[in-house]
Amino acid sequence: MTTELTTLALAALLQVLQFCAYSATANRQVSPKVALGPRDTPVELTGLAGRFKRAMENHFEGLILFTIACLVVTLGEQSTQITQTCAWIYLGARIAYVPAYALGLSPWRSVIWFIGLLATTSMLIAALI
């Protein structure tokens, strides 16, 4: 398996961990009736639960682009030291993003997010040249 696909698998596992953190904090915030119900009325999560939810949703968005980059690099047989390093940088940035968001570290959360986006974009460009 390529380094890029390995980091993609690890990024997917990170998404599972983020979902668990979000779910655990959200379930503590709302009643069991709401947690187990159909949620016809939207629930507004606050504090840590809300931040974990938003971080998880943000990772879903970033994961789409990172998945495309990994597939382009792997299927195009364009894996290089640069794309491999960028993949690890993306994963490291996403790992750092979770506590930065959960703790409300501003502006570092945005800086970390941008590093991940830059790494993904660099992978795509490297695959094309």
Q: How far apart are CA 113 and CA 41, in angstroms?
A: 31
Cβ atoms within 10 Å of 39's Cβ, excluding its own: 10
Q: How far is CA 17 from the centre of its chain?
A: 10
The pTM of the full predicted model, rounded to 2 decimals, is: 0.91
Asked if the bond preceding 107 is cis, omega within 30° of 0, the reply is yes
Q: How far apart are CA 90 and CA 129, in angstroms?
A: 20
Residue 15: the pLDDT is 97
Residue type, 8: L
Residue 35: the pLDDT is 72
Query: Is the domain covering 3-128 a CATH 1.20.120.550 domain?
Result: yes
Indicate the range of 23-27, 94-98, 117-121 predicted with least confidence. 23-27
Q: Tell me: the pLDDT tens digits for 4-45?
A: 999 999 999 999 999 999 999 988 888 777 777 777 778 888
